[in-house]
Structure 1
């Protein structure tokens, strides 16, 4: 198995997720600082912890995505279309909505699972720490 290619794909996807997080949270922090000056001042240590854990969790999404991307390119594991005319025009918005439904469902139920007492202490309490 070409481990270097798999690791590179997983690292690239993790970097994409991390950069997307930094861009979105940075924009939110920028706007919040303008609208509510000093709001984040007392939260400095917690914000740094949250950023650190969020960047670490980028791997939770990035590694599987990188493996799937590698498998798609190398072995055709999944059907990812790259041509706009491969499907009817109505398919694009429907596909996006189905993806969002699947992703949000997955996120909701895994987040609920992490609020179970045993899982919460081991995996999720840091998210709610102050």
Structure 2
């Protein structure tokens, strides 16, 4: 006697032929994302590395503050409520020695030092 197979009921058909490709596609997407992230971090020896900024890297003068490693300069102008960056120097660039100073890391300290210098409150 020969046996014949019945067609799959709609629920089993949907589970087998519609869900399985979705799982495979999702696994493939996950593998692609993991490999891409790994590749991007392995291309640079120091990914996302920033150089630590400290107050002793600054020189405070009468009307300006200079970040010595990058030569960026901030000044206080009469009539202006906020200090002004008038020379960016090497802020935002990787220095030849590999140090990477970002403006968002350097500027808050420069502004703090500029505001704290002697005679700053009388301007």
TM range (shorter): under 0.3
Q: Given the two structures, how large is their TM-score scaled by the length of structure 1?
A: 0.26
Instruction: Tell me which protein shows more strand as a share of its residues.
Output: 2
More helix per residue? 1
Which one scores higher on RCO, CA 8 angstroms, separation ≥ 6? Answer: 1
Tell me which structure has the larger Cα radius of gyration.
Answer: 2
